[in-house]
Structure formats: C-alpha cells, structure tokens
A and B are shown apart, each in its own frame.
Chain A
Amino acid sequence: DGGITQSPKYLFRKEGQNVTLSCEQNLNHDAMYWYRQDPGQGLRLIYYSQIVNDFQKGDIAEGYSVSREKKESFPLTVTSAQKNPTAFYLCASSIVRKNEQFFGPGTRLTVL
C-alpha cells in the first residue's frame, strides 16, 4: 500500500532534550512538508523540501531542524531551543507544483 508513515504516534520529551520524529513515504513524491498543529488551530509550516538534499524554512522553523538525504524520508528534530514544543506534528508529501498534499497519521509530542 502506498502512503506516508510517521513514528512514533505518541512521544514524551523532558525539557532540554532533542527528539527526532520520523516521516517516510512510498508515493514517489518529490515534495515533503512538516506542519505543527496546536489545539483549535490550523496547520503552520515548519520546513519543506522539494528535492533531495535541499529544504527551506517555513513560517515557524526556529527550534527545529530537518534533513532530506533520501527521497522517501524527511525526519524532523525538535531541539531544546523550541520553547513550547507540545503539539500535534504532521508530515505531508505531494508532487512538486501540484500541492495536493497527502498527510501521515501524525505524532503527538508532549513535553513533561
């Protein structure tokens, strides 16, 4: 089955720790995206990538980092510099310039 997987589904982090969220897709899409969603709010773009080894900052990139070493994978690291990281994190992919995005099931991150 083609699709996007994210892991873990739930993640708990102590203050001061870095954590990495996984996102893998087998849709052969070139573009991948990371969003953050807070309760009652829409999606805010963290980072996006349209090609391997290249990525751009979104609207709220501070405190986050990404890599795109493979077409299928776009991991997101939430660093200790992100002061309020508790949120629902969503990964998506699309064909470049089509922007019809397909989303993974998401990761809920909670800072203890």
Chain B
Amino acid sequence: QKEVEQNSGPLSVPEGAIASLNCTYSDRGSQSFFWYRQYSGKSPELIMFIYSNGDKEDGRFTAQLNKASQYVSLLIRDSQPSDSATYLCAVTNTNAGKSTFGDGTTLTVKP
C-alpha cells in the first residue's frame, strides 16, 4: 500500500461543474496536508494547505480534511479549462521534516 494514494484518473468534467479530487494517507502522525497543481511540463505550484479537520475555502477551491478517516480532498467549483492539470496531494509528518507525495490525479475540464 502506498503512503499517499490518489485516484489516478483521468478525471473529466464539463466547464462550470465541480471537480472533486480525493487523497488517502496511511501515516496517522501526519499533521500537514497540501494540494499542488502541476501543468504539463512545468513544476508544481502550491494551491491549498490545511492543518485542521474540516473545510478550508480559498476562492473556487475548498480543501477538506478528515484525520479520523485519513482522507483529504480538494473541490474545485465552477471549473475552468485553465484548471486542466495534474493535482498532487502531499502529506507531511512535521517530526520527519519531509513530505510524501501521491502520484497525482489528472483533471481535464472540457469547454
């Protein structure tokens, strides 16, 4: 079992719809959770982070964390073609000083 698992996709949604990206992790000591967006051929960029159980909203993005279920998700509302990218989930055990990344979910938003 991988330490961080994501649906491999690809995930395809129509423009204006809600895209839901999911991530599960195995280390119960994990304290910090991140979502990165990576366009094809480019480096990842941080779009959301969440540390506490519940929801965190930033514009069209909402991160959701459930530590009891070891589950973190990213919702993208009003999806745009420019959201088409691979989304990487990263989980950090701060005591270890490093993050573990999932393999990513590729999202395509169709006009």
Q: Do A and B come from one complex?
A: yes
Return the contact of A99 from the options B4, B45, B99, B104 (Cβ within 8 A).
B99
Interface residue total, chain B, C-beta cutoff 8 A: 21
Total count of chain A residues near the partner, CB < 8 A = 25
Q: Are A106 and B98 in contact (CB under 8 A)?
A: no
Complex Cα distance, B97 from A56, in Å, reads: 10
In the assembled complex, the Cα of A96 lies from the Cα of B110 at a distance in Å of 39
Q: Which residue in B92, B94, B104 is a CB contact (below 8 Å) of A42?
A: B104
Q: How far is the CA of A71 from the CA of B53 in the complex (A)?
A: 34
* Given A41-B103, A42-B88, residue A104 in contact with residue B43 (CB < 8 A): yes
Contact, CB under 8 Å: B97 / A31? yes
Quick one: which of A43, A48, A103 contacts B45, CB cutoff 8 A? A103
Report which B residues bind A (CB closer than 8 A): 4, 32, 34, 42-46, 49, 88, 90, 92, 94, 97-104
Q: Which residues of A contact B (CB under 8 A)?
A: 31, 33, 35, 40-45, 48, 50, 56, 58, 90, 96-106
